[in-house]
Amino acid sequence: MAKFHDLNIPFTTDKKQLQKLIGSAANVGYEVVAVNHVVRDKKGLKNAPGPVELQNIDIANLKVKGRSLQQLSRVTLILKDNTTFARMSTDNAIQSYDLLAVQPTTDKLFLLACTQLEVDIISLDFTQRLPFFMKYHPVRAAQDRGVHFEIIYTPAINNTTARRNIIGNAHALVAVNNGKNVIISSQAERVMEIRSPYDVANLGLLFGLSESQCKNALSRNCRALLMHAISRKSVRSTLSVRRIEELAPKECWKVEANDPENIVKQTKTSEEDDGDVGRPKKKRKR
């Protein structure tokens, strides 16, 4: 069974409040959560915070089902111009987060995020009327690159105007990408705002998604997003070198298997075995 994800738990310096938010998400059925740090300029950028320590009571429901909770770190960069985070792909502080999201504020920045930026999530402020139209080619380019679009549901619960704008913008997005590469997150600042995965899936019907797409927006799409994040961070380091002395005793077989002398012996043995196939065996003399 696919795990349910909530990839947008707002970061706060109040550790008790953050612990309550993550614990509440775990109690209603989420197995993967991401703590989101929103950054508007370089001054607000800091290293990724570590996982929050939870008590057994916070994840009691998951333990009953034999499951565990995975905590991830996420940063969302507010893009106001092309120069604010121009070197995000080489910035160690940005790359230290597990997930990288951007929120473009103009049409040109939205096109840049969809076609060029190496990010995992494009999160738009759906509570307001967007200053640009959802166009097919940029959205399709992002979709082909494995980038996902985020719909946040909490403002739709608290505010009537925000609900109307979110539903309209979500329908515009779904009409362009056919409901693919969409994730639904909470961005809940209070415990009472967090909804169970099945309630959120029902809410996704209002956004124009089908029943299967609503469930995928909380599970399969999020899993694909995490795989995209791993590949994005490992694409520049595909080779790792270790000394033989650093290998654990259980891993010593790897050295023996790659020893040139052993490879030659195995090759000769396999060739001899292949040559004997089909030949009648000689009877031994008594």
Please tell me whether residues 262 and 138 are part of one structural domain: no
280 domain-assigned: no
Instruction: Write down the pLDDT at residue 252.
Output: 64
Residue 118 is classified by DSSP as -
Give the mean pLDDT of 50-59: 74
- Quote the number of domains for the chain: 2
1, pLDDT greater than 80:
no
148 domain-assigned: yes
Residue 225's closest CA among 138, 140, 121, 118? 121
Q: How far apart are CA 4 and CA 56, in angstroms?
A: 20
Q: What is the dihedral of CA 57, 61, 67, 71, to 10 degrees?
A: -60
Please tell me whether residues 124 and 169 are part of one structural domain: yes
Domain of residue 167: give its range: 5-234
Q: How far apart are CA 187 and CA 151, in angstroms?
A: 10
283 domain-assigned: no
Please tell me whether residues 267 and 176 are part of one structural domain: no
Q: 173 in helix, strand or coil?
A: helix
- Name, of 13-17, 41-45, 59-63, the range with top average pLDDT: 13-17
188-196 LR contacts (CB < 8 Å, sep 24+): 188/9, 188/10, 188/21, 188/154, 189/10, 189/12, 189/21, 189/154, 191/20, 191/21, 191/24, 193/154, 193/157, 193/158, 194/6, 194/21, 194/24, 194/25, 194/28, 195/28, 195/153, 195/157, 196/28, 196/29
Instruction: Write down the pLDDT at residue 132.
Output: 86
Q: Which residues contact 185 (CB under 8 A, 6 or more apart)?
A: 6, 7, 8, 150, 151, 152, 153
Q: What is the dihedral of CA 128, 131, 136, 137, to 10 degrees?
A: -130
Please tell me whether residues 215 and 270 are part of one structural domain: no
- The share of the chain scoring above pLDDT 90, in percent, equals 54
Q: How far apart are CA 180 and CA 42, in angstroms?
A: 32
255, pLDDT greater than 60:
no
Angle between helices 107-115 and 136-144 (to 10 degrees): 30
238, pLDDT greater than 50:
no
Please tell me whether residues 71 and 163 are part of one structural domain: yes
Please tell me whether residues 202 and 254 are part of one structural domain: no
Please tell me whether residues 255 and 116 are part of one structural domain: no
279 domain-assigned: no
Please tell me whether residues 184 and 90 are part of one structural domain: yes
Please tell me whether residues 18 and 106 are part of one structural domain: yes
Instruction: Write down the pLDDT at residue 49.
Output: 72
What pLDDT, in 10s, does the model give residues 160-176? Answer: 999 999 999 999 999 99
Please tell me whether residues 95 and 205 are part of one structural domain: yes
Q: Is the pTM of this model over 0.85?
A: no
Instruction: Write down the pLDDT at residue 258.
Output: 47
Mean pLDDT of the residues in the chain: 83
- Residue scoring higher pLDDT (43 or 170): 170
What pLDDT, in 10s, does the model give residues 107-135? Answer: 999 999 999 999 999 999 999 988 888 88
Instruction: Write down the pLDDT at residue 257.
Output: 47
281 domain-assigned: no
Identify each DSSP E strand in the chain by its residue range. 5-10, 32-39, 70-79, 99-104, 121-123, 148-152, 182-185
Please tell me whether residues 49 and 22 are part of one structural domain: yes
Which residues are paired to 73 by β-bridges?
A: 35
Lowest-confidence pick of 31-45, 76-90, 239-253: 239-253
Asked whether 131 and 178 are in contact (CB, 8 A), the reply is: no
170 domain-assigned: yes
50, pLDDT greater than 80:
no
Q: 235 in helix, strand or coil?
A: coil
239 domain-assigned: no
CATH number, domain with residue 118: 3.20.20.140
Please tell me whether residues 253 and 124 are part of one structural domain: no
73 domain-assigned: yes
Provide the CA 80 distance to its chain's centre, in angstroms.
24
C-alpha neighbours within 13 Å on the C-beta side of residue 70: 13
Q: How far apart are CA 7 and CA 281, in angstroms?
A: 66
- Residue scoring higher pLDDT (269 or 221): 221
